[in-house]
């Protein structure tokens, strides 16, 4: 193709560097991208520090990794410095050679990288977007705004510090006394901490790294809640090439208590946390997403599935620059669909055992719920009292004309708005409701009385027991069966 070369078309510095600011990072994903570089550089400790001071606010991410020599530093600061198709070390969390620049520019206009390699002196380089816009040249500066930042590395054998200043995307032109922006800044940093505790939980749990946030060590948040009591059910890991898939079924919320319920729900809550958790080399990419294979449902929210692949499969999974989206290849998607169905059914079995849904619709059993849902001709869902439920059937057998009217009155006045309002305000109102291990006397006496009525009507004893024990709420207490005689 050399014979066809016409011109060399070099991108303009001003327009190009400003376009790097629009890759869709938020503060949490941007800082996580910087930490990826620290892990790839074999760091064991990473420190995130920040200071609010209006337009002089800053964020720094430092590590004790390998550090860089000058040529390595210049390469790291150069956009597109690595070939995406180049084979990577299995611990390398990078891919495109863009993360440091795009993540940083998405949040700030001045990026400074200070680094020290063992047996070398400290060196620094800086990109200042305002300066590039002014000069319209790719001028990499030998500059740091405050020498105190270099002092951090002086005490270390090696390491790197990334400094973000001119935080226009977070701070704007706010002054230091602007309480609204100050509070928003601090709130964003809280979200960063929660994000890092989830994204890097495997690294923290395995003691590979320690991440400090304002000098306080971050605790890992494991989305599979392995520290809960009772412990989640864990499926056997299934391996397909270099992809490992494992499902986890969490215990019912009422089994773990209010404190653990609130803590284990994560930042988004139990409903949003269900689904697949996609890892690349133990680094979380996607959390709580069914990837279009299924949709989020109440009875599926105990199901969480871990999917871990190596960095050699990046292109098969369509990994993006931000490392926040990944699309499974077709052959893996089939396996994910199969395992998802298993996990969802297991979640439904636990969740619906509480009588909160018509289980017969899911499992095609002879179970008789007290309530059933129906869709009217107008497409509206209504809730009906099940006339086949043994207690209701017994009442209707008395031919009391008032009973059908009472049932209809109850059906037409189900307090749906009140229930939904309480659920939205605090799901714990319902989800933490505990069921006793043994039936109370009233329920036990009702079952015995119903059994006697059935037998008096000539129904065989075994069938009478079966009908009672396959209906809500008698089915929850096998002990009742011992009293039916």
pLDDT in tens, 173-230: 999 999 999 999 999 999 999 999 999 999 999 999 999 999 999 999 999 988 888 8
Please return the burial class of 288, using the count of CB atoms within 10 Å of its CB with bins 0-12, 13-18 and 19+: buried
- Split at pLDDT 50, 70, 90, the class of 126 is very high
CA dihedral 390, 395, 399, 405 (to 10 degrees): -110
Q: What is the end-to-end Cα distance of the chain in Å, rounded? A: 92
- Split at pLDDT 50, 70, 90, the class of 122 is very high
Average pLDDT over residues 439-446: 86
**What residues does CATH 3.30.230 cover in the chain?**
233-352
Percent of the chain with pLDDT over 70: 88
Q: What pLDDT is stored for residue 428 in this prediction?
A: 61
pLDDT in tens, 395-417: 888 888 898 888 888 888 888 88
Q: What pLDDT is stored for residue 134 in this prediction?
A: 93
125 neighbors 77 (Cβ within 8 angstroms): yes
Q: Answer yes or no: is pLDDT of 358 > 70.
A: no
263 neighbors 221 (Cβ within 8 angstroms): no
Question: What class is the 13-217 domain?
Answer: alpha beta
State residue 240 phi and psi, 5-degree precision. Answer: -130, 95
Q: What pLDDT is stored for residue 82 in this prediction?
A: 58
Average pLDDT over residues 340-362: 69
**421 against 201, higher pLDDT:** 201
Please return the burial class of 180, using the count of CB atoms within 10 Å of its CB with bins 0-12, 13-18 and 19+: exposed
- Split at pLDDT 50, 70, 90, the class of 262 is confident
Q: Answer yes or no: is pLDDT of 332 > 80.
A: yes
**264 against 340, higher pLDDT:** 340
Q: What pLDDT is stored for residue 323 in this prediction?
A: 65
Checking DSSP bridges between strand 233-234 and strand 243-249, what pairing results, if any? antiparallel
**What residues does CATH 3.30.565.10 cover in the chain?**
13-217
pLDDT in tens, 79-101: 866 544 455 445 544 443 577 99
Q: Answer yes or no: is pLDDT of 45 > 90.
A: yes
In terms of average pLDDT, the best of 68-72, 240-244, 289-293, 457-461 is 68-72
State residue 284 phi and psi, 5-degree precision. Answer: -70, 130
Cβ neighbours of 107 (radius 10 Å): 23
Q: What pLDDT is stored for residue 130 in this prediction?
A: 95
Average pLDDT over residues 128-133: 94
159 neighbors 153 (Cβ within 8 angstroms): yes
Q: What pLDDT is stored for residue 360 in this prediction?
A: 39
Q: Answer yes or no: is pLDDT of 301 > 60.
A: yes
The rounded mean pLDDT for the chain is 85
**475 against 245, higher pLDDT:** 245
**148 against 272, higher pLDDT:** 148
91 neighbors 203 (Cβ within 8 angstroms): no
* Nearest of 340, 343, 291, 350 to residue 317 by alpha carbon: 291
Average pLDDT over residues 296-304: 89
Average pLDDT over residues 155-160: 95
In terms of average pLDDT, the best of 17-26, 149-158, 429-438 is 149-158
Q: Answer yes or no: is pLDDT of 314 > 80.
A: no
Residues 6+ apart with CB under 8 A from 190: none
477 neighbors 443 (Cβ within 8 angstroms): yes
Q: What pLDDT is stored for residue 419 in this prediction?
A: 79
Q: What pLDDT is stored for residue 353 in this prediction?
A: 59
**419 against 289, higher pLDDT:** 289
Q: What pLDDT is stored for residue 364 in this prediction?
A: 40
Q: Answer yes or no: is pLDDT of 284 > 90.
A: yes
CATH of domain 233-352: 3.30.230
Percent of the chain with pLDDT over 90: 47
Whole-number Å distance between alpha carbons of 181 and 54: 8
pTM score above 0.85: no
* Nearest of 127, 170, 161 to residue 48 by alpha carbon: 161
Average pLDDT over residues 381-393: 87
């Amino acid at each position: 193709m050399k014979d066809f070369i016409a011109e060399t078309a070099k991108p303009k510095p001003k327009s190009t560097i400003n376009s790097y600011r629009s890759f869709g990072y938020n503060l949490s994903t941007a800082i996580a991208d910087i930490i990826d570089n620290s892990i790839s550089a074999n760091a064991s400790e990473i420190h995130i520090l920040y200071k609010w001071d209006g337009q002089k606010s800053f964020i720094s991410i430092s590590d004790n990794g390998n550090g860089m020599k000058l040529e390595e530093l210049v390469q790291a600061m150069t956009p597109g410095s690595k070939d995406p198709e180049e084979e990577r070390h299995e611990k390398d969390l990078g891919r495109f050679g863009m993360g440091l620049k795009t993540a940083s520019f998405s949040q700030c206009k001045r990026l400074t990288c200070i680094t020290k390699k063992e047996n070398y002196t400290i060196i620094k380089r800086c990109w200042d977007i305002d300066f590039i816009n002014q000069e319209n040249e790719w001028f990499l500066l030998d500059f740091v705004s405050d020498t105190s930042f270099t002092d951090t590395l002086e005490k270390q054998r090696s390491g790197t510090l990334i400094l973000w200043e001119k935080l226009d995307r977070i701070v704007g032109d706010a002054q230091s006394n602007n309480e609204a922006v100050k509070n928003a800044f601090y709130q964003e940093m809280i979200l960063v901490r929660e994000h890092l505790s989830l994204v890097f939980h495997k690294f923290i749990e395995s003691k590979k790294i320690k991440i400090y946030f304002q000098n306080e060590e971050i605790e890992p948040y494991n989305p599979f809640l392995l520290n809960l009591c009772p412990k989640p059910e864990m499926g056997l890991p299934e391996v397909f090439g270099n992809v490992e898939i494992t499902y986890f079924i969490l215990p019912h919320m009422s089994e773990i208590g209010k404190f653990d319920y609130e803590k284990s729900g994560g930042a988004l809550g139990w409903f949003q946390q269900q689904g697949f958790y996609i890892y690349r080399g133990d680094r979380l990419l996607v959390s709580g997403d069914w990837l279009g294979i299924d949709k989020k449902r109440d009875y599926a929210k105990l199901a969480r599935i871990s999917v871990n692949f190596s960095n050699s499969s990046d292109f098969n999974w369509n990994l993006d620059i931000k490392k926040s989206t990944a699309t499974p290849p077709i052959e893996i998607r089939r396996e994910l669909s199969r395992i998802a169905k298993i996990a969802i059914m297991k979640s439904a079995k636990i969740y619906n055992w509480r009588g909160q849904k018509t289980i017969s619709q899911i499992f095609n059993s002879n179970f008789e719920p007290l309530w059933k849902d129906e869709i009217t001709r107008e497409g509206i869902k209504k809730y009906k009292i099940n006339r086949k439920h043994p207690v209701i059937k017994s009442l209707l057998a008395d031919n009391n004309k008032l009973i059908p009217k009472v049932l209809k009155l109850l059906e037409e006045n189900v307090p749906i708005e009140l229930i939904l309002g309480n659920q939205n305000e605090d799901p714990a109102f319902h989800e933490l409701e505990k069921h006793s291990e043994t039936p109370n006397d009233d329920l036990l006496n009702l079952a015995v009385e119903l059994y006697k009525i059935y037998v008096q009507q000539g129904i065989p004893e075994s069938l009478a027991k079966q009908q009672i024990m396959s209906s809500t709420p008698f089915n929850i207490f096998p002990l009742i069966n011992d009293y039916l005689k």
